[in-house]
Amino acid sequence: MNISFCCKDDNASLWIGELQTALPQASVTLWQPGAPQADMAVVWAPPQQFFDEQPQLRAIFNVGAGVDALMKLRLPAQALVVRLDDAGMAVQMAEYVCHAVVRHMRHFAAYEADAQTGRWQRQLAPDRSAFPVGVMGLGVLGERVWSRTPKGLSALDCYAGLAALPHFLARCRVLVCLLPLTPDTQGILNRETLGQLKRGAYLINVARGGHLVEDDLLPLLASGQLAGATLDVFRTEPLPPEHPFWRHPQIRVTPHISAGTLPGKSIAQIVDKIGALTRGEPITGIVDRQRGY
């Protein structure tokens, strides 16, 4: 079995070495233009040329949970597209989101500003019941509160489909976006939808920059409809230095770090799935190309 590795990753040698060690019966090589044909591929942000030269691939393993960039390319029709189920990203995402929610709810931004001027001032203690949190699209990276399809989570109020979206939004004081980016979810965070949140709501986007209509955010902040936003993803990355989000006092910017791929756990999961496919066994994480996730 030949496995081609095609990733924009500074640790390519680590990935290839560990994959080769775990799969001694296979040949794992770094893809270069004109490379021999492979049976399977491990990729992240590959060029179209890779797939043009590898039309016979049986499976394409995406090093990450999001496959929106991969879905824009022309892929071999017969190849399974497989995403990581978790591989340590869910815990990181939960840490990031919880930090952003608590920072907003407990007024830590105000305390940080006061500290710069030596001002000693207590903020009003928050009432947790006044901060209902809604999460859009938690699949593997969380437990879904609103999604395209119904899910049975007894501890949460669950909503599914566009018909339920207005009712879901109307209940939210904090909105967390974790949707996959598809044609259906492109621009879903816009003036209309964010305007349906409770007044003074807070937005956290850790999914994809394409979910947010960026030009709509500043007017919503200026009007008081939104109290602020924590954004980890953007339509253009890196975020250009002149972008107004950098300097806006109500927007917190981080450089797409809410959840990073952990090589060890990711390699172990990919190896297990390659083994299962080789034995003819079913695997999880197969992408539905029609849905885009």
The catalytic position among 173, 256, 279, 289 is 256
Catalytic residue among 83, 104, 208, 211: 208
126: closest CA among 108, 99, 151?
Answer: 108
Can the peptide bond before residue 238 be classed as cis, meaning omega within 30 degrees of 0? Answer: yes
Q: Which long-range contacts (CB under 8 A, 24 or more apart) does 77-85 make?
A: 80/277, 80/286, 80/287, 81/286, 81/287, 81/289, 82/273, 82/283, 82/285, 82/286, 82/287, 83/285, 83/287, 83/293, 84/261, 84/266, 84/269, 84/270, 84/285, 85/140, 85/269, 85/284, 85/285
Q: Note the Cα 89 to chain centre separation in Å.
A: 9
Annotated active-site residue 256? The verdict is yes
103 noted as active-site residue: no
Q: Any idea which residues carry the catalytic annotation?
A: 208, 256
